[in-house]
Structure 1
């Protein structure tokens, strides 16, 4: 699904627009999973509209040496932590020996910290969605490292199907993901994407406190009345 030029007032507005698009598709009893932190307010609106459970797939980017915002890999919070390296992106940099292992361990520590903050002392089975249809949501895709790491982790988990739903992503990235998932819903897919935030009126950073609040409020979603 391609559109051009929509402006999202904020992440909540983007989530409501995504929910409208997703309601046109057939999703039987899905799990809505968000990439925190920015994907959570978007996914919350989708989960509310679909009356579906909301969970997180915590992904931490591995940045390039000296350019931490440029992702060359990612680590995913699953039963067995999953690491994905973008070999093509990594070839653009001189990677010192041991760099990837050190960054992996650093990001794993941050993942564990966030997991405890968001979920407390939960059980791994609470996040095992094998056999379920998953809608994986972020507030946008820039180069696709984090979303690809999430896709690989969900496949290892053994989910039944994966639908990627995002407000905005570069067209070439969307096309490159089509063979990796069952469905993609993208509201805006420009030829060139300068910055995800440019498509939002308000792109204020989502806080950990907001994530915790939305997860608490979402506990009633997907439950029989």
Structure 2
């Protein structure tokens, strides 16, 4: 049996480890798409504002699930070792990035992100898990530009030895740090793709609830 039944269950587990921020002015930001489902549970449990941050993974040619990097608003991360392992050229990476930048813009427009004011507040960045860490780091660095007082990266599961770089997150919360790790989905009984419609609905529900 997996650690979590689904992303909502993972969110409830993660919320229990984020109790110090209950009722504060912290903002929970889910990494779209799947991270928003986890983040919605965290925000609901702790009575916090919810928003999303859009990140696009740069997938290896023919192995899209393997990230050679990630992009977010004003951020580009490319891991040279991963590019070499994937046998990609710089031109290959640029071609993938061009496609993903179009999708980044589309999703940002579709979700209506950026509603929450981050300046001077704690930003709790939530995803459904970390594999290579490229997406999580890109999200945190993108949000750093909005001058939050503190960035907390919170995920339910990640590789045992992984840690975010200091310039990305001020604090890292992860209840399950696993030695035997090959993909985030292995820790979920249900890990279906989250739709754009579900992301929009979760953001709207939380926004309407808080008025």
The alignment's TM-score, normalised by the length of structure 2, stands at 0.89
Map of 1:218 onto structure 2:
206
CA drift at 1:21 = 1.2
1:55-74 superposed matches below 5 A: 55-74=51-70
Map of 1:188 onto structure 2:
176
Q: Which sits farther off after the overlay, 97-106 or 192-201?
A: 97-106
Give the match's secondary structure for 1:98.
helix
Tell me whether 1:163 sits opposite 2:175 in the alignment: no
8 Å Cα contact 2:154/2:172 also seen in 1: yes
Matches of 1:209 and 1:117 in 2, distance apart? 9
1:6-21 superposed matches below 5 A: 7-21=3-17
8 Å Cα contact 2:32/2:53 also seen in 1: yes
Give the match's secondary structure for 1:169.
strand
The superposition leaves residues 23-69 of structure 1 with CA deviations (integer Å, 9 ceiling, x where unpaired) of 14578311100111111110001111222111111000111233221
Matches of 2:76 and 2:132 in 1, distance apart? 17
Map of 2:50 onto structure 1:
54
Q: Between Structure 1 and Structure 2, how many residues are aligned?
A: 210
Alignment gaps of 5+ in structure 1 = none
Matches of 1:6 and 1:96 in 2, distance apart? 37
Map of 1:177 onto structure 2:
164
8 Å Cα contact 1:170/1:193 also seen in 2: yes
Tell me whether 1:87 sits opposite 2:80 in the alignment: yes
RMSD of aligned Cα (Å): 2.2
Matches of 2:63 and 2:22 in 1, distance apart? 41
The superposition leaves residues 2-24 of structure 1 with CA deviations (integer Å, 9 ceiling, x where unpaired) of xxx97211111111111111014
Tell me whether 1:114 sits opposite 2:110 in the alignment: no
The one of 96, 99, 106 equivalent to 1:103 is 96
Matches of 1:71 and 1:8 in 2, distance apart? 23
Map of 1:209 onto structure 2:
197
8 Å Cα contact 1:53/1:221 also seen in 2: no
Map of 2:136 onto structure 1:
147
Q: Which sits farther off after the overlay, 23-32 or 106-115?
A: 23-32
Alignment gaps of 5+ in structure 2 = none
